[in-house]
């Protein structure tokens, strides 16, 4: 009798400057730690909240106040802090000066698949941006993360200086939007079942089990 756990393939669609994605990642970690009889194979996929962001980014505080107003920006930050309770995330919004273009960060996550370190690199990008206020659009920050996670730093540097996987990353972003993803995080199980939002660990575990049971279906379903 085969006692090996079943394997569920899970695409995590996110952006590294999305606080809800960071929260969702930590809640996903909690869910994965509680799963039994099911192994989840994680694949990180790109989604840029604003693909039109200039290559060197823009002033985050000014843009937030322009979009939400000073009071609205504070209320949004308070809501995020409340949602992050219990995740261990120490958001330091006051230290974040720039909103970067995240294309290169997504390319780094893509390349991290070759060393099996996508999940760790994504965590590092979230932490660098939200807890330390670092600009994760900067090449030196990305190279530092690559080094810390066992990637070939010299190769990554050359790739960042090239157009390698730029179009492929944009194509993956477009593919997520074609599935109906308009906001992140989103979780795609087995290429067929879609769950939107930063869900708690119990909701994620139910989603995994249901997707595992129903993967014989041929249509993509959206769970709310």
Question: Is residue 192 over pLDDT 90?
Answer: yes
Cα torsion 136, 148, 170, 20 to 10°: value is -60
Output the 3-class SS for 179-202.
CCCCCCCEEEECCCEEEECCCCHH
Q: pLDDT tens, 58-90?
A: 999 999 999 999 999 999 999 999 999 999 999
DSSP 47: -
Give the confidence band of 4 by pLDDT, cuts at 50, 70, 90. confident
Q: pLDDT tens, 18-65?
A: 999 999 999 999 999 999 889 999 999 999 999 999 999 999 999 999
Between residues 4 and 44, which one has the greater pLDDT? 44
pLDDT score for 5:
80
pLDDT score for 1:
45
Q: What are phi and psi of 63, to 5 degrees?
A: -70, -40
* Overall residue count recorded for the chain in this entry: 224
User: DSSP letter string over 118-141?
Assistant: HHHHHHHHHHHHHTT---TTSHHH
CB 110 within 8 A of CB 156: no
CA distance 212 to 5: 12
Q: pLDDT tens, 102-147?
A: 999 999 999 999 999 999 999 999 999 999 999 999 999 999 999 9
Among the listed ranges 50-59, 111-120, 192-201, 212-221, which one has the minimum average pLDDT value? Answer: 212-221
Domains, the chain: 37-168 (3.40.30.10), 184-224 (no CATH)
Give the confidence band of 2 by pLDDT, cuts at 50, 70, 90. low
Rounded to two decimals, the pTM is 0.94
Nearest to 119 by CA among 84, 87, 149: 149
Contacts for 16 with CB less than 8 Å, ≥ 6 apart: 102, 105, 106, 109, 122, 125, 126, 129, 136
pLDDT score for 140:
98
**Which residue is it, tokens 């109906």?**
180
pLDDT score for 222:
58
CA distance 55 to 68: 23
């Amino acid at each position: 009798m085969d006692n090996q756990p079943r394997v569920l393939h899970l695409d995590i669609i996110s952006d590294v400057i999305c606080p809800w994605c960071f929260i969702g990642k930590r809640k996903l970690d909690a869910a994965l730690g509680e799963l039994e009889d099911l192994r989840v194979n994680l694949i990180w996929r790109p989604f840029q909240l604003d693909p039109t962001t200039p290559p060197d980014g823009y002033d985050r505080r000014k843009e937030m106040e322009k979009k939400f107003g000073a009071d609205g920006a504070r209320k949004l930050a308070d809501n995020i802090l409340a949602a992050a309770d219990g995740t261990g995330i120490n958001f330091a919004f006051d230290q974040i000066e720039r909103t970067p273009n995240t294309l290169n960060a997504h390319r780094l996550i893509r390349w991290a698949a070759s060393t099996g370190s996508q999940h760790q690199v994504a965590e590092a990008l979230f932490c660098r941006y939200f807890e330390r206020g670092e600009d994760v659009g900067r090449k030196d920050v990305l190279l530092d993360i690559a080094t810390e996670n066992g990637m070939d730093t010299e190769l990554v540097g050359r790739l960042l200086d090239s157009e390698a996987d730029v179009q492929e990353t944009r194509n993956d972003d477009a593919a997520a939007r074609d599935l109906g993803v308009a906001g992140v995080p989103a979780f795609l199980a087995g290429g067929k079942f879609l769950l939107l939002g930063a869900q708690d660990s119990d909701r994620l575990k139910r989603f995994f089990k249901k997707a595992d049971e129903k993967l014989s279906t041929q249509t993509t379903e959206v769970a709310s």
